[in-house]
Structure 1
Amino acid sequence: MTAYARGLLHEPPVKPERPQFSSGPTVKFPGWSLDKVKTASLGRSHRSADAKGRLKYAIDLSRELLGVPDDYLVGIMPGSDTGAIEAAMWTMLDPARPATVAAWESFGNVWIQDAVKQLKLPNLQILSADYGQIPDLTTIPQRNDVVFTWNGTTSGARIPNTDWLEKGREGVVLNDATSAIFAQEMDWPKLDATTYSWQKVMGGEAQHGMLILSPKAVERIESYDPAWPLPKLFRLKKGDKLNRAIFEGATINTPSLLATEDYIAALEWAKSIGGRKALIERADANARIVLDWIESTPWLRNMVSDPALRTNTGVCMVFQGDWYDNLPEDEKAAVPKKIVKLLEERNVGYDFNGYRDAPPSLRIWCGGTLEQEDIKRLLPWIEWAYATVKGAA
């Protein structure tokens, strides 16, 4: 137990150099600055050859770094990860077919509401679990279409494997991978539509999503015409065929070329340090620092009880112990907010409170754009802040 955990209320001697610990948008890659973002495409039409070339370059770099199979399509979508996953759901989920939506945190529960209230799928299996747990995915029939979130952005629980998905299964698999991809390996042969946003693991700017389609997904889109109205932002077909121009840099609506160049800069940085393997190693090492600290801190526990399900990106922790357990519920909810406020006021750490719908908690982002030293410097400050909040109670 450190001095801070024993309640000695002196501030730690050093602060993180970069105090951004948000789970999205996440911190920029080390060494980022505006002069690393190329600007030649700015002020140009996104339909111009040069601008389309930059959009296609972003697509190609994404494919290369992620190891996407050659026969899969990669495209840029509006509306961040939300727009990408909902476009996939609206254009691929056929009410005539059985479907499963599995959720164990806030965003997965939104996809459940989409399936129930918006698409009104009649033959729907809902699998849900509390924060920190994952439902029994082996109960999903292989003929069902499936929507799931690879990594629980707001709970810190991720799937341990894809053994519950059989190769050659009948249903299509829609994978919201936004807080996992670039930090965890994707099992591409078992995935039909995979989505993510630039603002998560790569520290890019918001509002742009990515949609990765397997040949099976393309076949579903081309063979199925939804009965419900499709907003323009969800329209992936041109006539009876997939609009493949979307996957060559011709976006559905106007993208931000500044955000595109920022994403390209992050991808080029990732490639320069060793690509996907290096990003995963960095996230694993960062998360290990936090996971070990939680285990050694008596007034904290990981929100995810099973170590096999613990993420290496947004690590979530809840409070425990006699002092905290005896607080009224409203005072329990205030503890993490007070800790974050104390550290934000001192420019030590920003935006590491738990998600608003999650249990009262802290959530520290550990993706590959974080530096180990900054995480190591943050943790004693959290101990100091906890002791300060407890001492003032």
Structure 2
Amino acid sequence: MTIAKPDVRPARPWFSSGPTAKRPGYSLGALPQELLGRGIRAPEVVERFAHGLRRTREVLQVPDSHVLLYTPGSDTGAVEAALWGMLGQRPVQVVAFENFGLTWLADVKDHLGLEPEALTAPWGDLPDLSNVDWSKDVVFPWNGTTSGVRVPNADWIADDREGLAICDATSAAFAMPLPYDKLDVVTFSFQKALGGEAGIGVMVLSPRAVERLDTYRPDRPIPKVLRITDGKGFDRALADGVAMNTFSILTIEDWIDALDWADGVGGLEELIRRTDANYAALGDWVARTPWIDFLPERHEVRSTTSVCLKFTDARIDALDDKAKKAFVTRFKALLEGEGAVFDMEPHRNAPPGLRLWCGCTVETADVVAATPWLEWAFETAASELAA
């Protein structure tokens, strides 16, 4: 069966899960430029970086008891800084239900030389969180960007935990409530949270995490770009906007612009509402479309940001993995050739299907406008299989 091309394209057809869509109304030329070319240690530059941290705290509603700092290397760098700088004092569990959780598991084992316990699940599912042992340090994603799975709540995190809760929240921050009283390390990147530019990550540290840095010295060398301590423990200067290495001033200005937009539209509650509305619009389409379904079967663990979908059509099920990936490639080419939907393919390690970012910088009207194009591309590509 073939269907006609839709008449209306999304006004902003960007659905990548990282870097994600810029905020509505974004203009590169509107960013302040007077500090470009200045030294990274100049007082005015340090203050601008500190301002970015203060705005991040305000929009995310991070309690005053916690400290924030930037790291090189986006969310990956932030997570690695936590792993390298904090792990080893206690046994470790890693909750790994998607690509990046598996990456943290491999790094803890193969590069830090520790013996972590792995709590894993197939793509689209969540491990049994009742098996988490809070006498240990626990590393986990809040939201699995590559699997479309998130933890449903924080009830499984012990208030009286002895270990640290180290949470990779890069595709959850600014889109889902995060209980900072239950989390000791929270990490995210500019490039997913609010459509910022890539390269800089953020760490939020609880008093317990700072205490670990103050009192524990891992028996391993730590690369400079991951080192968040000085000779006395946690490097307090980092919480005042001092950069660990040479960060892009333009990237910080871009981040502050995104934060100002977020605050202006209504703050965290509105960002979560926008995300939920996008997810609901895509979910309505999934419910009435016979050839697609959510990759996670359980509603309560489905991500509202990096929404991962699977094909349920018999024509696609009959293909081997290589042919399924080729089908997704053709699907993507059809959409992008029309300028209708960009970057809807899943992560390279994920099952073949679709992945559309529904975070707060996406407009619900564009989600709705994208779905007829998904139908057109599917039927076009499926018809080519039979030809």
**Aligned-pair distance for 1:327?**
2.4
With 267-276 and 234-243 compared, the bigger mean Cα shift is at 234-243
> Residues 260-279 of structure 1 correspond to what in structure 2 (within 5 A)?
260-279=252-271
> Residues 92-171 of structure 1 correspond to what in structure 2 (within 5 A)?
92-94=86-88, 96-122=89-115, 124-171=116-163
Cα deviation, 1:141-164, whole Å, max 9, x if unaligned, reads 121100000000001100001111
**TM-score, with structure 2 as normaliser:** 0.98
Partner amino acid for 1:69? Answer: P
**Aligned-pair distance for 1:249?**
0.6
Cα deviation, 1:108-166, whole Å, max 9, x if unaligned, reads 100000111011213x2111111110101111112110000000000110000111111
> Residues 258-297 of structure 1 correspond to what in structure 2 (within 5 A)?
258-297=250-289
Out of 72, 81, 102, the residue aligned to residue 75 of structure 2 is 81
What value does the CA root-mean-square deviation take over the aligned residues? 1.0
2:168–2:187: 8 Å Cα contact kept in structure 1?
Answer: yes
Partner amino acid for 2:45? Answer: A
Runs of at least 5 residues in structure 2 that lack an aligned partner in the other structure: none
Matched, 1:306 2:298: yes
> Residues 231-270 of structure 1 correspond to what in structure 2 (within 5 A)?
231-270=223-262
Matched, 1:335 2:297: no
**Aligned-pair distance for 1:201?**
2.3
**Aligned-pair distance for 1:8?**
3.8
SS of aligned partner of 2:41: coil
> Residues 187-202 of structure 1 correspond to what in structure 2 (within 5 A)?
187-202=179-194
> Residues 351-370 of structure 1 correspond to what in structure 2 (within 5 A)?
351-370=343-362
**TM-score, with structure 1 as normaliser:** 0.96
**Aligned-pair distance for 1:301?**
1.2
SS of aligned partner of 1:221: helix
Matched, 1:15 2:2: no
Partner amino acid for 1:118? Answer: H
Matched, 1:55 2:60: no
SS of aligned partner of 2:119: strand
Paired with 2:320 and 2:231, the residues of 1 have a C-alpha distance of 59
With 334-343 and 212-221 compared, the bigger mean Cα shift is at 334-343
**Aligned-pair distance for 1:329?**
3.1
Out of 40, 49, 66, the residue aligned to residue 46 of structure 1 is 40
Paired with 1:333 and 1:35, the residues of 2 have a C-alpha distance of 39
The count of aligned residue pairs is 385
SS of aligned partner of 1:194: strand
Partner amino acid for 1:34? Answer: L
Paired with 1:240 and 1:52, the residues of 2 have a C-alpha distance of 22
Paired with 2:317 and 2:250, the residues of 1 have a C-alpha distance of 48
2:2–2:383: 8 Å Cα contact kept in structure 1?
Answer: no
SS of aligned partner of 2:191: coil
SS of aligned partner of 1:388: helix
% identity of equivalent residues: 43
Paired with 1:97 and 1:9, the residues of 2 have a C-alpha distance of 59
Partner amino acid for 1:104? Answer: F
SS of aligned partner of 2:310: strand
Partner amino acid for 2:97? Answer: W
SS of aligned partner of 1:24: coil
**Aligned-pair distance for 1:10?**
1.1
Matched, 1:379 2:358: no
Q: Which residue of 2 aligns with 1:66?
A: 60
Q: Which residue of 2 aligns with 1:3?
A: none
Q: Which runs of 4+ in 1 moved over 3 A?
A: none
Paired with 1:116 and 1:157, the residues of 2 have a C-alpha distance of 24
Distance 1:72 1:335, change over 3 A: same
Paired with 2:95 and 2:102, the residues of 1 have a C-alpha distance of 8
**Aligned-pair distance for 1:333?**
1.9
Q: Which residue of 2 aligns with 1:27?
A: 21
Cα deviation, 1:289-326, whole Å, max 9, x if unaligned, reads 11121121111110010000011101010101222222
**Aligned-pair distance for 1:35?**
2.5
**Aligned-pair distance for 1:178?**
0.2
Paired with 1:278 and 1:89, the residues of 2 have a C-alpha distance of 32
Paired with 2:42 and 2:179, the residues of 1 have a C-alpha distance of 35
Runs of at least 5 residues in structure 1 that lack an aligned partner in the other structure: 1-6
Q: Which residue of 2 aligns with 1:348?
A: 340
**Aligned-pair distance for 1:168?**
2.5
